[in-house]
């Protein structure tokens, strides 16, 4: 499996997350002219480092995962924020060996009256095969 496929599964296959995000869950960016009255999640990732075994084969790769929540309601934002941290922190799935919450960053857009929170996670991932 690939990192992006496994992350897509984790982000899109939880009933609570899907129920709270009536705008949807998107990779990399929001749709153009997104409806600011909806709640949205946008996630992205990047590779940080690779750990090798003594025989030079890849042991695991470390990734940063960034998840941005966009909402007009601060209570909903906090609910989703706390749920995502609890849901992903310590998670193992397929190639994911561990996911660890590393911090968050709150922002707001007064003009659009929306609140945003970006969650940061560090993930150790082992590829099952190199297909």
Q: What is the mean pLDDT of residues 64-83?
A: 96
Domains in the chain (CATH in brackets) are 3-125 (3.30.2000.10)
Tell me the C-alpha to C-alpha distance, in Å, between residue 3 and each of 14, 70, 90, 93. Answer: 18, 24, 16, 10
**What residue ranges in 1-131 does DSSP mark as E strands?**
24-27, 40-52, 58-71, 96-109, 114-125
Mean pLDDT of the chain: 90
Of 1-10, 42-51, 61-70, give the range with the top mean pLDDT.
61-70
Contact 63, 3 (CB under 8 A): yes
Per-residue confidence (pLDDT) for residue 7, from 0 to 100? 95
The whole-number average pLDDT for the span 118-129 is 87
Contact 64, 122 (CB under 8 A): yes
Rounded CA gap, 88 and 79, in Å? 14
Q: Assess contact for 52 and 61: CB atoms under 8 A.
A: no
């Amino acid at each position: 499996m690939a990192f992006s496929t496994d992350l897509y599964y984790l982000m899109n296959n939880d009933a609570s997350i899907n129920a709270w995000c009536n705008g949807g869950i998107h990779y990399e960016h929001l749709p153009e002219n997104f409806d600011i009255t909806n709640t949205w999640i946008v996630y992205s990732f990047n590779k940080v480092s690779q750990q090798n075994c003594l025989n030079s084969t890849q042991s695991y790769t470390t990734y940063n995962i960034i998840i941005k929540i966009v909402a007009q309601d601060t209570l909903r934002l906090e609910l989703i924020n706390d749920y995502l941290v609890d849901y992903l922190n310590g998670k193992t799935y397929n190639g994911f060996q561990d996911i660890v919450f590393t911090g968050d960053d709150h922002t707001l857009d007064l003009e659009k009256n929306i609140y945003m929170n970006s969650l940061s996670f560090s993930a150790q991932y082992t590829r099952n095969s190199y297909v």
